[in-house]
A and B are shown apart, each in its own frame.
Chain A
Amino acid sequence: MAYVAIADRDHEQELHDPTTFITKYIWSQDHKVIAIQYSITAMFVGLVALGLSAMMRLQLGFPDSFSFITPTDYYQFITMHGMIMVIFLLTALFLGGFGNYLIPLMIGSRDMVFPYMNMMSYWVYLVSVIVLLASFFVPGGATGAGWTLYPPQAILPGTPGSELGILLMLVALALFIVAFTMGGLNYVTTILQARTRGMTLMRMPLSLWGIFMATILGLLAFPALFVSAVMMTLDKVAGTSFFMPAILSMGETMDHEGGSPILFQHLFWFFGHPEVYIVALPAFGLVSDLLSTHARKAIFGYRMMVWAILAIGGLSFIVWAHHMYVSGMNPYFGFFFATTTLIIAVPTAIKVYNWVLTLWQGNIRMTVPMLFAIGFIFTFTHGGLTGIFLGNVVVDLPLSDTYFVVAHFHMVMGVSPILVVFGSIYHWYPKITGKMFNQTLGKLHFWITFLGTYAIYLPMHYLGFLGVPRRYYAMGDTEFMPESAFTLNQGITISALIVGAAQFIFLYNIIVSLKKGKDAGSNPWEATTLEWQTPDTPPKHGNWGPELPVVHRWAYDYSVPGCRDDFIPQNMAPDDVPMAADSVSQSPDVGTHGSEGETDGPDGEPVA
């Protein structure tokens, strides 16, 4: 592919101009409106899934007390909770929500390159959500096969919703994948093609890098889920034997023969593991920007951070079978996958170090987004470290399928990304709405969520050490579980209910602040990135005034020595940067501050 000066691209993107209320806010092609539609829908299903988790916790903490939760219900709840949270909330919110909102603003473009397809992406996503939720109301109810949907049980009687529920689930997933692909093509193409003048790849904020890599992972990994969904549907509907061996069901032998349930697991996890990073990478990116902005300091080791994102993205395709150490696959695979899995810990650790080192020697403003960002570092470190237990094949033997796993992935993939989601919503709320949220409520929300979730998940790891299995409707009496473990379970349930309830503080805050919030101004956090430099707040359709912004510097010019302010917007030309009164003479040119970092000397990088 050739590069030429942007100046040659004299054509400006044509914008579809909304005139009516419907085309402006509902059937809209504006990336900001679509982003908000995506976010609201995702948060709505997220609330449903939160409700489901409350029911599950009630049953686990107080078995025998709630007659309306039968095993059938319970397994439906865990399945739907998992699937909604992972796919329909987190994936949709990070990419459909934040991706949509931030990409065009951060790269300085007027919209996505395919606005119509972007709109379709949302509507197909909405249909997939409706199909998913509809499965609760069909005869037999939603599927209760666990979010992994393993065959044979997923499509056999004995599992709730094995008739219609599972089919609706597969259809909802297929639709989601279609929606995601439409959105994903947009995100990738927009980032590659529509960056404004001066916005080189390496000047992009890390949010974009995270979203970009996550989108690529999603585009390449979701087909695996699609393939397995199609094949399972055929096994169910047409009676093929892709995954179905000769088995017994309800006392009768079936017609299937020779299929391999493990084949499904390989396909599922080939999607499933990258999916972890589809959620994690945007969170990594967003949190980097939060930390840098509120610590008033350049993100530490930007290049390392970018390469770590690339490395994690690449490696995430060769670690999938660490979810299958005890699946009965060839045990020799364990050596390979344990090694690759632990290798991926290295770039991940580097990211953690760099976040912490960004705080070091910073000028930390303890704003609400910053609280969430630091909370994220804590929970992610915790969750990442417990991941090393499970990734190390032999340590996984006793811990697999126990509450340790539940605790681990909720720390790393539930709590951590959600803290980033909250932090990011608080961070960009002033830009999206033009209003400032209520700080006190924001802090209250943080403290309950942060401490509460730790109170849920730290003890849960230890239930796993005891050997308490996950996905049990009730433990009943066992010989190895002490009575105190049941008390612990009650404590966990109470924490979970409190944390769940605290989320309404958040909803209240963001809804009420729409009306009552103070005007935030265009750049309340004094951030450098382009989205804070729009002529209007909230940005109007088309984002920028008559001229697109021109980028002169990278995204992290915070506290540059010699300058008056502790931030320089990306689109500020070197000559316009206000100097500190005492350093005008000695440092007329802020462009050369690069020598502050230790970048001189041969560093082994190939020269193009």
Chain B
Amino acid sequence: MPLAIALIVLVVGSLLFHFLSPWTFTPIASNWGMIDATINITFWVTGVVFVAVNIFMAYAIIRFRHRDGARAKYEPENKKLELWLTVITTIGVAAMLAPGLFVWAKFVNVPEGATEIEAVGQQWQWSYRLPGEDGTFGTIDAKLYSVENPFGIVPDDPNGQDDVLIDDAVVHIPLGEPVLFWLRSKDVLHNFTVAQFRVKMDLVPGLVTYMWLEPTKVGEYEVLCEELCGVAHHAMRGRVVVDEPEDYQAWVNSQPTFAEIQARPAGDPVLGAASYAVCAACHGAQGEGIQALNAPKLSGQDPRYLKKQLRKYQTGLRGAHEDDTYGRQMAPMASTLPTEAMIDNVIAYIGTLSDTDAPATVTGDAEHGAELYTVCSNCHGKDGQGIKMNAPRQAGMSDWYLLRQLENFKAGIRGGHPADLRGKQMGLMSQTLHDEQAMKDVVAYINTL
């Protein structure tokens, strides 16, 4: 009897939960309302079965509970009843399947003339490529992935020259037009998901997969990786911005093409030396870093990382948080390098500076730090040397600066800007370090590398 009541309560409770709880579908922002409709059909059919079966069962439990002298009926089978139940079930199943297949057919067949975008996954970051004016993507060769050619485009393929490359986790798409996402992975399986768009698909190395949708609401949406891709899986975030078509076009036009990037002259250290004079005031003549001035060591750091940070200071992705005292000092300094060429030159000059390990100033339990560092090593390398195309060097850099940045990341002072997704990634990973002592331990371990 209590069980029958429990069953009834659970059924009613489930229904109430379904209708009253605040947790339900994230509002849709694409054309895939049909998917939601199919789910609703499924909800109704399965809901009726769920209620019917369990209420019937609860009733049976009450009505046919054991009583002295009672005896069960002997009925090994009832063909007619079983046949009817089979038929009704089959109809119910067909009622769910048919619309499902119909909608799937729509998903499989991409409409003509869709805007094409390639989303590229890599442990644990996103980047994007557009086919450019010729509408055709250049060929990719997985053996060509490198710092200079992160997309692995075959250099002499004419189709690839005008490919627009977005080496950042934010992509824009036009409102109200079908958008075809080609999905490509450089290393392991990933999955491109925007909850508001409803559709998702895996990225498979060695293959190019696809999915399409038509955004219906201007706005910014978060891209999640939903296929386990390693320790930083949960930190692999991207962003899709749905623009009015004209804004979209303007954005596309502002992005560099493969040919433009290839044609960029390498930075000239001689020219860079002049610009560096400003930097030297705080970072030291040899880029060795001056703790008293809160300026970290620069020499020996990954040039790509330095460049990205300068760009972030310039665009307000970094050094804009009100609690980021030292970042706010750096931001105006970064704007002394207004052109891309100037940045390249300065970085080229920094590359020529002598690279001696910064002195250790932070102390902690290096042994404990070593355990914690196993997570970090996946991006920053086993020896803290940094990994090309992924994360900067830590070993031999200013340890006090590492500590402060860890604190900033954890507190959202750095990496808190919604468009700074690499920063956000580090922010999520810094959650692994639960307190100040853990951070000191890790830094102490890095000092031993």
Contact = CB atoms under 8 A, between A and B. Distances in A.
Q: Do chains A and B touch in the complex (CB under 8 A)?
A: yes
Interface of A: 63-67, 70-72, 75, 144-146, 150, 152-153, 156-160, 245-253, 258-262, 295-304, 326-328, 331-332, 334-335, 338-339, 342-343, 345-346, 349-350, 352-354, 356-357, 359-366, 371, 374-375, 377-378, 381-382, 385-386, 388-389, 392-395, 397-398, 400-402, 447, 450-451, 454, 458-459, 462-463, 465-467, 469-476, 478-480, 482, 484-485, 488, 556, 558-561, 566, 593-594, 596-599, 603
Chain B interface category by residue count: 35 or more
Contact of B230 (A66, A158, A363): A158
Contact of A297 (B72, B100, B432): B72
Ranked 6 nearest A-B pairs via Cβ = A245-B206, A467-B195, A328-B209, A246-B142, A251-B388, A158-B230
A385 B188 contact: no
Contacts of B266: none
A339 B101 contact: yes
A431 to B, nearest CB: 22
B11 to A, nearest CB: 9
A392 B96 contact: yes
Contact of A152 (B65, B105, B187, B224): B187
A106 B112 CA distance: 64
Given A261-B205, A393-B100, A398-B39, 4 more contacts: A70-B374, A156-B230, A474-B234, A482-B22
A365 B209 CA distance: 56
B72 A362 contact: yes
A342 B66 contact: no
A597 B107 contact: no
Interface stretch (B284-292, B345-353, B400-408, B423-431): B423-431
B57 A374 contact: yes
A289 to B, nearest CB: 15
B278 interface: no
Contact of A596 (B74, B201, B205, B435): B74
A466 B28 CA distance: 11
Most buried by A among B66, B81, B185, B225: B66
B72 A397 contact: no
Given A402-B226, A597-B76, A152 B189 contact: yes
A454 B26 contact: no
B55 to A, nearest CB: 10
B184 to A, nearest CB: 10
A326 B191 contact: yes
Interface stretch (B82-90, B156-164, B321-329): B82-90
Contacts of A252: 388
Contacts of B251: none
Contacts of A342: 93, 96-97
Given A245-B206, A401-B226, A465-B23, A392 B100 contact: yes
A599 to B, nearest CB: 7
B282 to A, nearest CB: 30
Contact of A71 (B50, B204, B231, B390): B231
Contacts of B367: none
A371 B4 CA distance: 10
Contacts of A603: 79
B127 to A, nearest CB: 13
Interface string B407-449: 0000000000000000010011101101100100000000000
A466 B431 contact: no
A339 B280 CA distance: 69
A394 B195 contact: no
A450 to B, nearest CB: 8
B77 A385 contact: no
A314 to B, nearest CB: 17
Contact of B142 (A247, A304, A374): A247
B360 interface: no
Contacts of A447: 6
Nearest to B57: A356
Interface of B, secondary structure class, is mixed
Contact of B97 (A262, A338, A354, A463): A338
A488 B17 CA distance: 12
B431 A474 contact: yes
B199 A398 contact: yes
B246 interface: no
A301 B77 contact: yes
Contacts of B388: 251-252
Nearest to B46: A385
Contacts of B234: 71, 469, 471-476
A362 B23 CA distance: 40
Contact of B227 (A251, A381, A401): A401
Contacts of B263: none
Contacts of A594: 76
B72 A363 contact: yes
B24 A382 contact: no
Interface in B106-160: 107-108, 122-123, 142-143, 145
18 contacts: A72-B231, A157-B378, A158-B229, A247-B188, A248-B187, A251-B390, A258-B206, A327-B202, A328-B202, A395-B38, A397-B198, A470-B226, A473-B231, A476-B237, A480-B26, A566-B71, A597-B78, A598-B77
B105 to A, nearest CB: 8
Contacts of B60: 356, 359-360, 362, 364
B434 to A, nearest CB: 4
A307 to B, nearest CB: 10
Contacts of A395: 35, 38-39, 42, 100
B362 interface: no
Contacts of A480: 26, 195-196, 222
Contact of A156 (B24, B50, B56, B187): B187
B339 interface: no
A388 B42 contact: yes
B415 to A, nearest CB: 10
A467 B17 contact: no
A466 B147 CA distance: 38
Contacts of A451: 6, 10
B306 interface: no
B206 A158 contact: no
A152 B205 contact: yes
B7 interface: yes
Listed residue (B78, B201, B228) with the most chain A CB atoms within 10 angstroms of its CB: B228
B64 A474 contact: no
Given A304-B77, A388-B42, A474-B428, A558 B72 contact: yes
B275 interface: no
A366 to B, nearest CB: 7
B354 to A, nearest CB: 25
Interface in B190-247: 191, 193, 195-196, 198-207, 209, 220-222, 224-235, 237
B370 interface: no
Given A476-B427, A596-B74, A345 B183 contact: no
A463 B228 CA distance: 18
A342 B96 CA distance: 9
Nearest to B227: A401
B228 A326 contact: no
Contacts of A478: 222, 224
A488 to B, nearest CB: 7
Nearest to A250: B387
Given A366-B66, A459-B17, A466-B23, A335 B53 contact: no
A332 B378 CA distance: 37
B205 to A, nearest CB: 5
Contact of B201 (A245, A258, A326, A475): A326
A584 B417 CA distance: 88
B72 A596 contact: no
A400 B228 CA distance: 12
Contacts of A72: 231, 374-375
A70 B372 contact: yes
Given A71-B231, A346-B90, A362 B222 contact: no
B73 interface: yes
B389 interface: yes
Nearest to B219: A479
